[in-house]
Each structure stands twice: as structure tokens, then as C-alpha cells.
Structure 1
Amino acid sequence: MSTRSARTLIIAGLSVLALAACTSNTPEAEENTGGNAAPQGAAAGKNDEPGQKVRIGFSAPAADHGWMGAITKATQAEAKKYPDIELIVAEGTNDVSLQISQVETFINQKVDAIVLLPFDGAALTPVAVKAMEAGITVVNVDREFDSPFAARTTILGDNYGMGRSAGTYVCQQLEGKANSVVAEIAGIDSLPLTQDRSRGFKEALADCGLKVSNRVAAEFTVESGERAAANLLQAAPKIDAIWNHDDDQGVGVMAAIKNSGRKEFFVVGGAGSANVMRDIKAGNSLLKATVIYPSTQGADGVRLARLLVQKKALADLVEVEVPRTIQLYAPVVTKDNVDQYLPTAFES
């Protein structure tokens, strides 16, 4: 691993430690021993104790693929763990106007907080600002708003980090093979998240003297994944490694590969679906790894919204307020560590 790659992974690791703080506030964590005392309720071990009732509105896009469905499911499950949370879930929608209307309804209901994964961050920015101006705590999930005034805290996956992690893994597997052919099956090319993933992948490969020799784009669906992979396999008579951005579209990718009968390469997935992890664990597939894009972001948003409304902090940090931005880590899952990640994986 190059110095630059190592530095990137270390920085990403610090981010995930920050997140772990909001998900590990157990009584055993540590005791408040005096000195610079934390705010009321923020002492370690206190955060999970019942506090004031918190009404949280949650809105996300339609669950039209496994990852998005897992976001909503995990959010609802997390809210049920806390007797002081009342979660109001709006129906998932890819209609921007309808999602804006949902947030307007939350404002009229005078909820304490809104956890919002916008279908379009820019389009939902004005109504999120309106909610904040109404005194409602907004937690922005995954797709960023255009204004820093639209949310108190933002929880992000690491799309660039996904590409870096995938590229670093490919470099490790192809070490010493300077003429290796690396292919990439991206998601929707017009999306910034796809562009970030591709940029991270390209830069990680450059660190070890490799490049993307063949690239196609799909649309995060099974059907588009199968079409894109079939086109790639037809255009590239030799491939050593493929990185597929998304495990949902990867169902189609793997179908196209099976139909081709080709086996000279290995495949790295993206997002971290349970079916891919099971294939990795079984060891009888071309799938050797996948890069996590957490489907826990909405659940983490609910936890943070509760802490913010109850004026608590992350008990494992010295900082006395919840951070403005938390970026989740993008680890590589292999046969060696798959059991660690399977419990929170989503079904494609």
C-alpha cells in the first residue's frame, strides 16, 4: 500500500471512530470524573437512558432497490429501541414535490426533528431551511443539501473512499502484475456519487501503476447491470479484475458473467449486500470482496436527532456537541472479515 493510500485509510478510520461514539454509549464506556463536565445528560453511559419524548419525522426515496429498502427498515428498527422516540415515517417517494410536501407536513405537525434522505438534495434544500428556521432539528442523510443552514448535522457515506478502498484492494491482489487489465462497471454517470467513486478508484490504481482499461456505466438496477456487463465482456477479451459500483446492479453483472462462461478475473462489489457477502464467505464465486456503503445512515440519523433534541453529546468524545458532519467509513469486506459485516448487510 502506498503512503498516500495509507494516509487516506487512517483519516477514514478516524471518521468511523467518531460514528462509533454515537452507537456505543453503554454504561461501561467511562465515567464522568469531574473537571470539564459535559452538558447535562451527556456523561458517558447516560445517553441511552430514557429522556424527554422526541418526535422525529423520517422521509426517504422509494425503496426501489435493496440498499434504499434497508435504510428505511434499519431506521424504523433503531427507533423502536428507544421508548422516548416517536418516529413518524412518510411513504418513500421519488417524486420531489411529494417529498417537499412530506417535510411541510412534518413542519405543520411541529415535530422535534426531521431525518431526511432527500431524493434530490438541491431541490429539498429550501424546505429543509424552512424547517430549521421553524426550530426543528434537521439531520441530513446521504445526499447533501446545498446550504449549511438546511441541517444541523449531516451523515454521509464515503463515495470517494469507496473507490479508494476498491482500488487499493485491486492493487494488492494484482501486485507485481504491471500489465493487468482492470475494468469498472459504474452506476449512473451523471450523479456526483458515481463520479466520486470513479475518481477514488482511478487515483488508488494510479498509486500502484495501474489504470482503468475498460469502463461502462449502468443505472443501479439488475437489468442495467446485466446489459453493461455483457457489453464490457464483449469489448474486453482479457480482464484481470472488475470493480462493480453497486451490489444491486451486481446481480445482473454476475448473471452476464455466468452467461459468458469467463473466469479469468475476480470481481469486487460495492455497497455491501448480504447475498454478495454470502458468496464471498462461500468462496465459490468470482466475487472476492465488496466495499461497504452503509445502509445504517438513517438509523444513525435517528440516534443523532434524539441526542440533539435532548441536548446530549457523543459520550465517547471530549467534544460537548454532536458534530456537524459525520462521514462513514468504506471498508473492504473479504472472506477474512465477512462475519463482522453480515449482520448489518442488506438483501439485494
Structure 2
Amino acid sequence: MIAVLSGCAGEGTGTTDDESEAPTKFALFMTHMSNAFTIELSDAVKAQAEELGVELTVNDAGQDVAKQISQIETAVNQGVDGIIIEPVSVDGIIPAVQMAKEAGVTVVIVNQQISDPSAADAYVGVSNADGGEMEMTKAAEDIGGEGNVAFLLGPMGSDAQIGRSEGYQRVLDKNAGINKVFESTAEWDTAKALSLVENWLQAGKNIKAIVAQNDGMALGALKAVEDANLQDSIKIYGLDATPDALAAVKEGRLTATVSQSTTAQGTEAMKACYAIANGETVDSEILVDFTLITKDNVDDFL
């Protein structure tokens, strides 16, 4: 499942050959902990930390970049050996990453890349543009390459929002018959997506598909569409392969979702952080695979 695609990261600076001083304190910084994807990712990091026998503190930034920066600074001042960051902002946390590195702390970025990858020791995650392209390609095929499509985006400026939007645009560039009639952020939130789509449906734009950048928003869109009794005419697509989305795919209510190997991301991020903190060399970019999930193969993931 893991595809190693790039060169080597430097050795960690916070360890010695003395076994008594081996790194034992690590911290994980999550953008938020309000949906199934972030919980699964966090759980995977925690499980791997437990297997390695190290202490792990989990921090929830609540999608607030200033809060995440403060959390990172606090952890560094408390003497952690390594940190894993799912960044709120691709640019905003760079100073905190640089501060951690200057303090000799190993830094691994997970799931969403930062704008200066060289600031950290390694990145473990996905190519978000590829995931967006996979999701949108399926939608384009299902509607025959023409018709009105609406897009639910993640928090603006996040790596996932930027990358998945880029992937969508790759497909739109090849399908002149598809019209983007609505595009707005629902910030990964199901309730916000529900409200947005309710408003879109009242505009009478004859939407053929709604493509969401995560499953939570896709499920919000699904509720709005079903409440309006339009489920037979509007197809809905998500990304993350969360349990609720997989169940909806199996029931034929959600057309498709995309797995980004969430557990593998968390596991490999913790492994990489521990290895670098121990002075080992790992690849600076470790990418996991996307998988398109439809009713045809959903049983393999349930």
C-alpha cells in the first residue's frame, strides 16, 4: 500500500547513542477531531506509539492555526523528542515547524503537506490532487461528461482543499460540457454542507452531481438531496471512506467515496517520526494510495 516516492530526510538531532536517553516523548497535532477521518488518523498514530512503547500527547487545534502554533510551541518547550502535525494551514504553521527544528525536535507532517516541505523532516500522506482527480473522474463518467456540478470544499487554504480542487480542475479542463454552478467551503462540516446544499437546491440549477472534498460534507449533501426527494436525479461523491459513507455507498445512496488509506498514514507517520528521532534515515516523502470505492467493491472495505 505504501509507495515511497522521494529522497532521504536528515537524521534526527534529539537523540544519542545512550539507550537511557532514547526518545520517549512525542506529540500529535490535529487540525480538529470532529469527524470520522481525523479520529481514525489520530487512533492510528496512538496505536503505533503504544506499539513502540512511547508516550504520545494528542492536541486538537479546532481548525485554528494560532491555536495549533501555540500547542506546538508549548510541546517543544516541554521537551518532546518528536512531533507529528496535521497542519491547519499550509503556510501558517511554517514558523512553528522551524522553531521546533531549531530546538532539535523531529518534525513529521501528515496528511496535508505544508508549503515548504523542506522545513520538516518528512511528509507522510497522499497527493491530494490525485485524490480529487480520481473522485471527479468518476463523477464526470457517471454524468456522461456534461451537466451542472456543485462542489463542497474543505477549509480554504488547507492543503486538502487546494490539492483536491486542483484535481477537480484537471477533469473539468477535459470536459467542456460540465458546468461548475456552485462552489463553496463547508469546512469539513456535515451541518454546514446540509445548509449550503439546501440553498443550492432552491436555486433551480438542475444539478446532476455534488462532489464533496470529504465524506462528512457528502453526507450533509445527501441528506439535503433526500429531504428534497431528488436522490434519483443528483449523484453525490465523497472522500475518506468513513464508516457512515461506506454504509451509504452499499445502500446505493452515496454514489462513491475515495479511500486515502487513513490508518496507513497514521501508522507510517508515527514510525517515521520515531525512526528519525532515533537517528535513522527515512525517505522525506512517503505516500499512500487512493482507492475508488463504489457499490461494486464496497464490501472489501466494510
Q: TM-score, normalised by structure 2?
A: 0.81
Paired residues of 2:94 and 2:116 also in contact (CA < 8 A)? yes
Structure with larger Rg: 1
Return the offset for 1:273.
1.6
| Bigger strand share | 2
1:147-186 to 2 correspondence within 5 Å? 147-174=116-143, 177=144, 180-186=146-152
Q: Is the 8 A contact 1:70 1:295 kept in 2?
A: yes
Name stretches of at least 5 consecutive residues in structure 2 with no aligned partner. 6-21
The within-5 A match list for 1:117-136 is 117-136=86-105
Matched, 1:324 2:279: no
Where 2:88 maps in the other structure, the secondary structure is coil
Q: 3-state SS of the aligned residue for 1:214?
A: strand
Shift of 1:53: 5.0
CA–CA distance in structure 1, aligned partners of residues 286 and 86 of structure 2: 14
Between the aligned partners of 1:102 and 1:195, the Cα distance in structure 2 is 24
Identity %: 24
Matched residues, number: 282
Does residue 295 (structure 1) correspond to residue 262 (structure 2)? The answer is: yes
Distance across 2 between alignment mates of 1:105 and 1:56: 12
Give, in angstroms, the shift of residue 189 of structure 1. Answer: 6.8
User: Does the aligned pair in 1 maintain the 2:108–2:124 contact within 8 Å?
Assistant: yes
Higher alpha-carbon deviation: 269-278 or 200-209: 200-209
Partner of 1:187: 153
Give per-residue Cα distances to partners, 1:105-162, cap 9 Å, x unaligned: 3323332211122323433222221221222211012344444453100223332112
Q: CA deviation at 1:323?
A: 1.5
User: What residue is the counterpart of 1:141 in the other structure?
Assistant: 110
Residues 53-94 of structure 1 show CA distances to partners (whole Å, capped at 9, x for unaligned) of 5432222233133322333222212222223x2223335444
Match of 2:46 in 1: 76
Task: Give 3-state SS (helix, strand or coil) of 1:183's partner.
Answer: strand
Distance 1:189 1:104 in 2: 23
Structure 2 match to 1:273? 242
Distance 2:180 2:58 in 1: 44
2:40–2:262 Cα contact (<8 Å) kept: yes
Q: Which deviations, in whole Å up to 9, do the C-alpha atoms of 1:181-229 show, x marking residues without a partner?
A: 1412222473353243233123224435542342231412122211221
The farther-off stretch of 59-68 and 273-282 is 59-68
1:246 paired residue number: 214
Distance 1:72 1:137 in 2: 18
Which residue does the alignment assign to 1:233?
A: 201
CA deviations 1:239-281 (Å, max 9, x no partner) are: 4333222211223211110111111232221222211111212
Query: 5 Å matches for 1:25-64?
Result: 54-64=24-34
Conserved? CA contact 1:141–1:155, under 8 Å: yes
Q: Which amino acid aligns with 1:224?
A: K
Tell me which residue corresponds to 2:73.
104
User: Residue 22 of structure 1 corresponds to which residue in structure 2?
Assistant: none
Residue 114 (str. 1) matches residue 83 (str. 2): yes
In structure 2, the partner of 1:215 is 182
Contact 1:131 1:138 in 2 (8 A): yes
1:17 aligns with 2:3: yes
Contact 2:61 2:67 in 1 (8 A): no
Structure 1 unaligned spans of 5+: 1-12, 20-51, 313-320, 343-348
Give the letter aligned to residue 306 of structure 1: Y
